[in-house]
Amino acid sequence: MKRILPFAFILLFGCAGKEIGTKVLYEGPINGNFVSSDVLVGYFHKVKNCMGIEEEVPYPQVVIYDGDHVVCGDRIKEGCTLTDGKILLPKKTSDFIVQHEFVHYLLLHTTGDLDPGHKSEEFWKCAGRIHIADDVS
**Per-residue DSSP letter, 38:** H
The residue with its CB nearest to Zn ion is 137
Shortest spacing between CB 120 and Zn ion, in angstroms: 10
Shortest spacing between CB 4 and Zn ion, in angstroms: 29
Sign of CA dihedral 31, 99, 125, 73: negative
Distance in angstroms (rounded) separating the CA atoms of residues 82 and 89? 11
Shortest spacing between CB 81 and Zn ion, in angstroms: 7
Binding region for Zn ion (CB under 5 A) out of 23-31, 43-51, 85-93, 129-137: 129-137
137 lies in the site for Zn ion, by CB under 5 A: yes
95-111 and 37-50 are packed helices; what angle lies between their axes, rounded to 10 degrees? Answer: 50
Q: Which of residues 79-118 bind Zn ion (CB under 5 A)?
A: none
Measured from the CB atom, the residue of 94 and 137 that comes closer to Zn ion is 137
Distance in angstroms (rounded) separating the CA atoms of residues 77 and 38? 24
- Strand-strand pairing, 87-90 and 61-65: parallel
Binding residues for Zn ion, per CB under 5 A?
Answer: 137
